[in-house]
Chain A
């Protein structure tokens, strides 16, 4: 079956530190991979996505590379800001129209100044 595993949080960093949030997946076929972010009091927002192996998704300084050989899609940012404090969700789509996304458990990031 399809599943997503994320590193447990919370992750606590100082401003300008390097961020990695690990995500691995299990899927049949060739899924698309996503990172969603949930800021306090808000809904889920798409942060970035990658639709095939070796694709790199990027947005707002965040990056993630679709690694088929390691079934991973780790989220990275070179220098975090206080405003990046949020919950980050890794997700996959089995790539059939209308098929639901499968989410990881979420990782809480807290950045202090």
Chain B
């Protein structure tokens, strides 16, 4: 079965530093997503991306966050100046053109902000 790949699996950073989380979605998918899960809490939607632009974003996705698909295969999430409360597991997902199509999730990047 095809896979969504995320790197790194674990990232440790100092508060105020910039981090970039990387994802390689499934090649023929059209929609790309970032979610996060703070320990013990819900999986929260951050942003969706379609046709090279953001199609939907949550209140969490403020000016500190940005997404990019720089080369047609990678899909990145940048946090400009990390805060302690950004510590979470970040999941990338990709899906096809239909809302009922299966979303494929990566195995996540655990971000720890110290």
Contact = CB atoms under 8 A, between A and B. Distances in A.
Interface of A: 32, 36, 41-46, 49, 51, 89, 91, 93-106
Contact of A96 (B35, B44, B99): B99
B25 interface: no
Nearest to A102: B45
Q: Which 10 A-B pairs have the closest CB atoms?
A: A43-B107, A103-B43, A100-B45, A44-B105, A43-B105, A98-B31, A105-B42, A97-B99, A95-B99, A98-B50
Interface residues of B, number: 29
A94 B45 CA distance: 14
A47 to B, nearest CB: 11
A48 to B, nearest CB: 11
A97 B42 contact: no
